[in-house]
Structure formats: C-alpha cells, structure tokens
Amino acid sequence: MDVTELSATELVRAIQMGRVRPSDLMAATLARIAAVNGAVNAIMSLRDAEALMAEARALNGVAPRGPLHGLPLALKDLVAVKGIRTTYGSPLFADHVPLADDLVAARLRAAGAILIGKTNTPEWGHGSHSFNPVFGVTRNPYDLTRTAGGSSGGAAAALATRMVALADGSDMMGSLRNPAAFCNVYGFRPSYGLVPGIAQGDTFLATMATEGPMARTVEDVALMLEVLSGPSPEVPFGRAGERFSQMLDIDMRGKRIGWLGDWGGAYGCEAGILDLCAAGLQVFADQGAVVEPVAPPFPAEKLWQAWLTIRAMLNAGDKQAMYADPVKRAQLKPETQWEIEQGQKVTAAELHAASVIRSRWYARVAKLFTEYDALVMPSAQVWPFPAEWRWPQAINGRAMDTYHRWMEVVIPVSLAGLPSLNIPVGFGPQGLPMGMQLFGAYGTDAKVLAMGQQYHRATDWPGQNPPQISG
C-alpha cells in the first residue's frame, strides 16, 4: 500500500487503528518528496530528515494527540512557524526563523500534525504565480513548463503530487482557489471570520483575506477546516466552527444553482474554460439540481475599482515601513511597490466610496441567495500559463492593465467574504486542469462543502488523474 495515495481522512483512520504508524507515513512522505519535489519545486525549508523521523517515531502507538495525529504537513511560506525558516518569498526575510507559531501553525500543531517545512508562494503573496527570488518558481505537476498558480501554488502542487495529504492556503484574490484549479485539487475559502487571522497589525479594516484548507477530497477539506476554524479572543469578527466533516450529506434534488459564467463578458475567459465548467454544472443537474444562467448582478467595473482601492490601501498601510527605507524598497518586487504607491494616493473619500460599493454588492448578492442555494463561476480566466511569465499580459486580445486583472473573476467572492470551494472540472485539450468556484451565502460553509462532496463523489477528478512525475 502506497500511503501517500491515501486521503488525510483515510490516513487518520489507519493511524488510529494501528494499520499505519506515523513513522511509516513520515518515511514514505520524505521518499515522495525526494522523488518529485525537484521537478515541481513546491516544498521549501524541509526540516532535517532524522529529526522528522524521531518526531514521528515518538507518536507511534500512543493515544492520538488530536484529529491530525501524525500527519506530515508543510505550511505556506506566508505563515510563521516556530523554528522553521519563513521567508514570505522575500529576500528581506531569506534567513528569518520565527520564534513563535502563527495561529494556523499553532492550531495544526496542537491537532497532532508534524510540521515538516514550507510551501512556496510569490513574494508577499502578490500575484497568482508562485515564484520568488528566494526559492524560484513552482511548476505545474501536469505540465512542468506551466505555472502552478498562486499564491498557494506550492501547496496545490504538493497536494497534486502526493507529497502531502493536506495543505493550508490563504486567499485574498483567489490565492487558494486559482492554484487549486490549476493543479486539480480542492481549495476552500471560508466565510470571513470563520478562520481567524493573527492578532497583528490592523484586524478591523483588513477583512478581505483569510486562511483556508486545501486537499484532494472535500472530506479532507472539512477535516482541516474543523481544526482551523473557531474564534480567537484577540481578533474581531470571529465565527464558531462546526463539525463540517459530519455534515457532508445533502440531497441535491431541487437545489438551485445559478451560473454566472463570465459575468456577461466582463470576465473574459480563454477558450474551453466555460465549456468545462458547463460540463461540471451538468454533474449537479444529473443529481437533480436546477441549474440556470444568472445575468450579471452588479457592474463589474464598480467591483474592480472598489477592489483596487481597498487592496492598495491595505498593502500601503501594511508595508509602508519597508517602502520608506530605500534599501528595503529596492528589494520589493515591482508589483508590491506598485500596490504601495497606489495605496498611498487613496483619499478618505475614495476609501469610503469603495466601501459603500462593497456594502451594496454584499446586499445584492445576499438577495440572490434567497433565490439560489449556490452560485458558480470559473475559478480562473486563463489556463495555466508558461512558468517564465510574470503574469498574463492579455486575455483573448484584451490587454491586462494591472498585474492581477487576469484574476478579476475571483473578486466578487472576496469582496463579500463568502464561502467558496474550488471544484475541479477536468482537463482541457492540452491536458491542463481547470476548476470552478461554488459559493454560497455568508455563513453557509457547511452547505457549500456538502454540495461539493456530492460533486466529488460523482467525479473525483484528483483521484482519476494523478500526475506521474519522477525526480
């Protein structure tokens, strides 16, 4: 039995029943990493193998420490992990070793996981292509000449290549939905507040980014979400977690799903993407759901302008000290410098206007969810693109006016803080993966996951098409 092919849920059960020892799983994990990581460059700062084996052996035959007892996990390199180099993809932090865990790392460690290293990300998480001057580029497991997406590209590639069974991602502008689509895995952006942020910097205005779980099955996503969710007393807007893994059964008959497509052409998509999504929607229709098209519910350009304003303001505020130092500024990627410079120009009136647009969009989409159980859009507007590109310059001949305009399809979910699951929809003519966003009303995380579970039972794209990569 190749334990690296098992899901996290299967591994947990096998360890609990004594069929698999944590040390056996760790040995298989390290062997898998040695065999394939050189090709995809997904896992970074791997801890010493002997230390990892010793930690795993100490868990053999003992009572489970938590729901992830003995599972090896590599955390995204935007998450501080005590004792493991954490770079944020930046040369400014190339040798940074945190003295304490971020909340995500602390909760996973407390659940019994063994933290083995980090997964690659673009510098500061800016852009959906995981490359940086510290570790280089992460490549797509299905075509090594292509990107794995980002900013959770290392996590998605590590999952697809079976180096880990679970991964954490973070998502402001599709940073776990996009790479999940590009790498044929699941990625869940929870309702804002369900997985709390760290008590650092601003926690009142910064309400567009969140951590979330990624995996090859929806059941595993739910398992990890149970560990990550629940309020932190140090940050506002917390939400209680639920037993998500016990709430995955749902009858799709009569469920209403609205198909937003490319938002009436506003979110142009490369050829074949919408067709694959339509085939994915047919799976729900075959299960008895009512699937129907929905006209664009809000002006896309207004959403974009609100997004640019709020995002730039947050980046400028968060990174102004580094930008003010000429030596450090020179080591920031151009896209990060641009974000800060745009944010420094934002006036109070412009920020208020952007927040009003965001508020009106939330009200509009909330009303839509009185008619529909879920809405669907593509998770990406382009296929995985060449790894040597910084970002796509055009979609179907339309020039992209920012480094992230090609990801615009993800911002309606982010602006409203809605629960959204990337579900794989198969492969295009060139063998490249794609996915679509299944999202619901705020707070309906369990329902979105349950609908995704029915889709997974009918398709299991990650299980049917494992990439064959050797080191």
Query: Residue 140 falls within a domain, yes or no?
Result: yes
Query: Residue 432 falls within a domain, yes or no?
Result: yes
Q: Which domain holds residue 32?
A: 3-464
Query: Residue 92 falls within a domain, yes or no?
Result: yes
Q: What is the mean pLDDT of residues 152-173?
A: 98
Query: Residue 469 falls within a domain, yes or no?
Result: no
Query: Residue 470 falls within a domain, yes or no?
Result: no
Taking the C-alpha atoms of residue 309 and residue 301, their distance in angstroms, rounded to an integer, is: 12
pLDDT of 1 > 80? The answer is no
Query: Residue 471 falls within a domain, yes or no?
Result: no
Q: Residue 470 — very low, low, confident or very high, per pLDDT cuts 50/70/90?
A: low
What does residue 367 show for φ and ψ, rounded to 5 degrees? -65, -35
pLDDT of amino acid 466: 78
Residues 391/400, Cβ–Cβ less than 8 Å: yes
Torsion of the alpha carbons at 299, 300, 305 and 309, rounded to the nearest 10: 110
Mean pLDDT of the chain: 97
470 tagged catalytic: no
**Annotated active-site residue in 45, 90, 151, 152:** 151
Distances (CA, A) of 416 to 193, 356, 364, 394, 404: 12, 12, 10, 27, 19
- Tokens encoding 285: 């229709």
Distance of CA 10 to the CA centre of its chain: 22
Q: What is the mean pLDDT of residues 58-72?
A: 97
Q: 79-137 pLDDT, tens per residue? A: 999 999 999 999 999 999 999 999 999 999 999 999 999 999 999 999 999 999 999 99
407 contact partners, CB below 8 Å, separation of at least 6: 128, 173, 174, 178, 380, 381
Q: Residue 464 — very low, low, confident or very high, per pLDDT cuts 50/70/90?
A: confident
Taking the C-alpha atoms of residue 415 and residue 305, their distance in angstroms, rounded to an integer, is: 11
pLDDT of 394 > 60? The answer is yes
379 tagged catalytic: no
Q: How many domains does the chain have?
A: 1
Residue in the block written with tokens 């412009």: 350
**Annotated active-site residue in 152, 175, 229, 379:** 175
**Annotated active-site residue in 23, 76, 229, 333:** 76
What does residue 403 show for φ and ψ, rounded to 5 degrees? -70, -10
Query: CATH code at 353?
Result: 3.90.1300.10
Residues 435/181, Cβ–Cβ less than 8 Å: yes
Distances (CA, A) of 471 to 141, 310, 333: 12, 43, 30
Q: 302-311 pLDDT, tens per residue? A: 999 999 999 9
420 tagged catalytic: no
Q: Can you point out the beta strands (E) in 135-234?
A: 136-137, 139-140, 143-147, 166-171, 186-189, 210-215
Q: 401-455 pLDDT, tens per residue? A: 999 999 999 999 999 999 999 999 999 999 999 999 999 999 999 999 999 999 9
Q: Residue 471 — very low, low, confident or very high, per pLDDT cuts 50/70/90?
A: very low
Of all residues in the chain, the percent with pLDDT exceeding 90 is: 98
pLDDT of 287 > 60? The answer is yes
Q: What is the mean pLDDT of residues 358-375?
A: 98
- Tokens encoding 244: 């998500």
Query: Residue 84 falls within a domain, yes or no?
Result: yes
Query: Residue 223 falls within a domain, yes or no?
Result: yes
Q: 327-360 pLDDT, tens per residue? A: 999 999 999 999 999 999 999 999 999 999 999 9
